[in-house]
Structure 1
Amino acid sequence: MTEQRVTTTTESGIADVRLSRPEKLNALDPAMFAELAATIERLATLPGLRAIVLSGEGRGFCAGLDMASMAAGTPGFSLEDRTYGPANLFQQVAWGWRTLPVPVIAALHGVALGGGLQIASGADIRIAAPDTQLSVMELKWGIVPDMAGFALWRSLVRDDHLRELTYTARSFDAQEAVQLGFVTRIARDPHAEAIALARAIAGRNPHAIRAAKRLANHEGNAATLLAAESREQAALLRSPNQMEAVMANLQKRDPVFTD
């Protein structure tokens, strides 16, 4: 029987998702890909969800592909298959986090290599331990990043830096990752920091948070983005949760929002 590759616990609207193959540094095998895609699908419609924390069990976040287990390929799967909207299965486990309606915070430690870095890049925010090692390492194996990395990094990393790291496959530390844009900030305990941030997000108007993520994901030109801002704001103004945010601030109390 295959052991569970991904675990999820939910408390107070926060889903704590963990890659759970610690004996292999959470390396990606076919079972891990399947479970990550299924987890994203479940979270997309989970009632009461406000934020997600994504991390890895054991000594690292994710060491990338388990080359031995992936060598035989995935039966019935083609890289050309668009089974998740614009994405195939491999791309979905990274791109899918970006498409979820609530913010996703990745907590990185140990290593985030290759496919692991691409999965983390799908999060809205990445918090890394100081000694985390990262790499766009696919060229080490004679391949290119193909788990949505280029689509995700385009808005995070300057083009020439991304090209250099892709062409060389060299490792870099968390401090450089912050400077380059791969990581948001550094924390000694990234998981605790991610949970604290998720709680802060969960305390805001959930409809406004979701609207903000839709705007952040918007890929249109300036005109369509300006129009989208206006539509989102019009829907929020004087809504019950927006009025609750105002009253809670005026009355100096914690807000009580509804989904």
Structure 2
Amino acid sequence: MDPRLTITRTGPVAEVLLNRPDKRNALDLDLFDALAAAGESLKGANGLRAVILHGAGAAFCAGIDTSEFLRMAQNLASVKAEMLAPTPGTANRFQRPVTVWAELGVPVIAALHGVAFGAGMQLALGADFRIAAPDARLSIMEARWGLIPDMGITQTLPRLMRMDLAKELILTARVLEAPEALDLGLLTRLADDPLAEARAMAARFAQVSPDVLRAGKRLVEETWTLPPGPGLTREATLQADLIASPNQIEAVMAGMQNRPPQFKG
């Protein structure tokens, strides 16, 4: 694992820290790969109930390390090949650092402070929840570099905001103050200490059945834009799998006996 990315496990909660404060946690290709690998490593983690993404130092993530542009220009053919190589419908090397978090069976919370620009903004959008400091600033900044956002934003932004507003942000690279980002639906909430608030949220998730965390996340991810027929069918299928399962029975018994539940998994 890249030493500039650390995973700390405290009981049922894992924290993934971007630890490159001297560069405001800007991402180079090695950190792209490290983020994807971190997400993969947490998929099968026993007893995990939540993941927190955050950044060391003065910012969550300032975006892509601009030195990568020169590096990519020197290997342009291979970079384009990596973009286009995956089987259609699967994420490429540049999308995996974002898309991997939706594949985890637990909630992922991004705690944002300072700036979340460009690749950092797209990484935050890959989380299930975004808690930001009131003075945080956010931007889909790729247009400033003559590019479009391409880290899975087609899977994240349409679920959060209107098409016209998304176009404006993508085409202008406008920097948003946190209150406006909240109004637009890009943030879950504001908090003076976003990391503390993220930890409090993770602690609440830790009390929930892991089966509910997994199925509830899938319910939204898989059905939010489906028409009624397929959506209702998927909803019923997920619920049928939960009914009378060991953890569901334990939830009922714990509630009836007024005690904390003891879930497995």
Instruction: Give TM-score, length-normalised by structure 2.
Output: 0.93
| 3-state SS of paired residue (2:45) | coil
1:36 CA displacement:
0.6
Map of 2:231 onto structure 1: 225
Map of 1:96 onto structure 2: 100
1:3 & 1:52 partners in 2: Cα distance?
18
- Is 1:208 aligned with 2:212? yes
Map of 2:192 onto structure 1: 188
2:238 & 2:262 partners in 1: Cα distance?
21
Post-superposition Cα deviations, 1:114-144, rounded to whole Å, max 9, x if no partner, equal 1100000000110000000000111111111
Aligned with residue 175 of structure 2, among 161, 171, 175: 171
On the 8 A contact 1:104/1:124 being kept in 2, the answer is yes
On the 8 A contact 2:2/2:31 being kept in 1, the answer is no
Instruction: Give TM-score, length-normalised by structure 1.
Output: 0.95
1:245 CA displacement:
1.0
On the 8 A contact 1:29/1:70 being kept in 2, the answer is no
Map of 1:37 onto structure 2: 36
| 3-state SS of paired residue (1:254) | coil
AA at the equivalent of 1:242: Q
2:254 & 2:2 partners in 1: Cα distance?
46
2:183 & 2:2 partners in 1: Cα distance?
38
1:252 & 1:99 partners in 2: Cα distance?
33
Question: 4+ runs of 1 displaced by more than 4 Å?
Answer: 74-77
1:242 CA displacement:
0.8
2:146 & 2:99 partners in 1: Cα distance?
23
1:28 & 1:115 partners in 2: Cα distance?
7
Map of 2:9 onto structure 1: 10
1:156 & 1:211 partners in 2: Cα distance?
21
- Is 1:244 aligned with 2:250? yes
Map of 1:234 onto structure 2: 240
Equivalenced residue count is 258
1:145 CA displacement:
0.5
Map of 1:253 onto structure 2: 259
1:3 & 1:237 partners in 2: Cα distance?
42
Q: Are the structure 2 counterparts of residues 84 and 121 from structure 1 closer, same or farther at C-alpha, using a change threshold of 3 Å?
A: farther
1:10 CA displacement:
0.9
| 3-state SS of paired residue (2:187) | coil
On the 8 A contact 1:30/1:70 being kept in 2, the answer is no
Map of 1:65 onto structure 2: 64
On the 8 A contact 1:33/1:93 being kept in 2, the answer is yes
1:47 CA displacement:
1.6
1:84 & 1:12 partners in 2: Cα distance?
38
1:43 & 1:122 partners in 2: Cα distance?
15
Q: Percent identity?
A: 47
On the 8 A contact 1:63/1:116 being kept in 2, the answer is yes
Map of 1:55 onto structure 2: 54
Q: Are the structure 2 counterparts of residues 3 and 87 from structure 1 closer, same or farther at C-alpha, using a change threshold of 3 Å?
A: closer
1:12 & 1:100 partners in 2: Cα distance?
17
1:247 & 1:11 partners in 2: Cα distance?
27
1:83 & 1:187 partners in 2: Cα distance?
40
1:83 CA displacement:
7.2
| 3-state SS of paired residue (1:154) | helix
2:44 & 2:227 partners in 1: Cα distance?
29
Q: Which runs of 5 or more structure 2 residues have no equivalent in the other structure?
A: none
